[in-house]
């Protein structure tokens, strides 16, 4: 073969190899983008379902709480300060409830309760004592057992006397925080990362009259949530895959709240 034929053959080979490389490169970037999109969608769906479930449970088990206790420990509380958005939800998320095993007097700092049908009381959670005529909320300071009964230490003294039988319900606190961390906006639930790259997170509140506000009031009935998640590691020079979620959570446990006068 002549030198000219070798050069022509080499040129054709380089052209074919370049075409194949370009096609493979495009396919590789497309596959990486689709993988990133799948990651973003899974994250957004998982975070959205978890947030909706917690929102719908806000206020569960707190129907008999007094207006004073509801003011100090509202089922839904929001704060946006220091560049961090914080949503605090309170309710009987794990449905740990029981009854008083003996009468409790004014000034008492412990409760003797029957064992709950499921779950367990934990230090640091709240506890609601509700007789139907009076109620109080305390932080659980200690948990012990005595003769097969649960002994709950309270963070304060009882202001009312209670007979045998009133309901005792554990109220858990779930906190969501959204803020910047290491150049990314991160959504956490009780300190655990739910979504590690959330460019957009917006929450609005709707009261019983249908008015939309930026902060929840005493008559909040639903919450609209708009947030966007992005893939954690896009390829250099490639479009970042993102998934947006827009939904509304009906706060079903807050629609029937009342107070006894």
Q: Label residue 173 exposed, middle or buried (CB < 10 Å: 0-12, 13-18, 19+).
A: middle
**Are the beta carbons of 111 and 152 closer than 8 angstroms?**
yes
- Do 150 and 98 meet the contact criterion of CB atoms below 8 Å apart? yes
15-29, 69-83, 185-199, 240-254: segment of lowest average pLDDT: 15-29
User: For 113-156, how does the pLDDT look when each residue is reduced to its tens digit (9 = 90+)?
Assistant: 999 999 999 999 999 999 988 999 999 999 999 999 999 999 99
**Of the candidates 217, 216, 225, which has an alpha carbon nearest to the alpha carbon of residue 194?**
225
Q: Tell me the β-bridge partners of 151.
A: 112, 144
Q: What phi, psi does 189 have (nearest 5°)?
A: -120, 115
- What confidence tens digit (pLDDT) does each residue in 3-55 have? 776 666 667 777 667 666 565 565 655 666 677 777 888 888 888 899 999 99
pLDDT for 116: 95
- Which residue(s) pair with 168 in the sheet? 98, 129
> How many Å apart are CA 129 and CA 62, to the nearest integer?
10
Helix (H, G, I), strand (E, B) or coil at 31: helix
- Structural domain boundaries of the chain? 12-65+75-89+173-254, 97-171
Average pLDDT over residues 78-107: 93
pTM, 2 dp: 0.81
Residue 33: predicted pLDDT: 62
| DSSP secondary structure code for residue 60 in this structure | T
Alpha helices in the chain (DSSP H): 3-57, 67-72
pLDDT at 259: 42
Contact present, 150 and 53 (Cβ < 8 Å): no
pLDDT of 260 above 50 = no
Q: What is the pLDDT of residues 169-223, one digit of tens each?
A: 999 999 999 999 988 899 999 999 999 889 999 999 998 888 888 888 878 888 9
Please give the structure tokens belonging to residue 84: 């961090």
pLDDT of res. 146: 92
The string of pLDDT tens digits covering residues 159-172 is 999 999 999 999 99
How many angstroms separate the CA atoms of 128 and 98, rounded?
A: 11
User: Class of the 97-171 domain?
Assistant: mainly beta
């Amino acid at each position: 073969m002549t030198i000219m034929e070798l050069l022509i053959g080499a040129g054709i080979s380089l052209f074919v190899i370049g075409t194949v490389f370009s096609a493979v490169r495009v396919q590789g970037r497309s596959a990486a983008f689709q993988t990133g999109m799948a990651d973003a969608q899974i994250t957004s769906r998982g975070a959205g379902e978890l947030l909706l479930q917690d929102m719908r449970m806000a206020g569960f088990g707190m129907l008999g709480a007094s207006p004073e206790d509801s003011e100090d420990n509202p089922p839904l509380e929001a704060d946006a300060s220091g560049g961090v958005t914080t949503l605090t939800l309170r309710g009987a998320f794990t449905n740990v409830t029981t009854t008083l095993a003996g009468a409790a007097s004014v000034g008492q700092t412990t409760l003797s309760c029957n064992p709950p049908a499921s779950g367990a009381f934990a230090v640091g959670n709240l506890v609601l004592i509700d007789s139907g005529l009076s109620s109080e909320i305390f932080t659980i300071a200690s948990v012990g057992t005595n003769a097969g009964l649960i002994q709950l230490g309270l963070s304060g003294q009882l202001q009312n006397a209670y007979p045998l039988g009133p309901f005792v319900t554990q109220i858990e606190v779930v906190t969501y925080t959204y803020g910047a961390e290491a150049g990314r906006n991160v959504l956490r639930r009780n300190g655990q990362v739910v979504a590690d790259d959330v460019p957009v997170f917006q929450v609005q509140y709707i009261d019983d009259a249908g008015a939309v506000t930026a902060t929840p009031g005493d008559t909040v009935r639903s919450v609209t949530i708009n947030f966007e998640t992005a893939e954690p590691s896009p390829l250099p020079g490639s479009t970042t895959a993102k998934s947006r979620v827009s939904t509304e959570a009906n706060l079903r446990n807050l629609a029937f709240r009342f107070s006894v006068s």
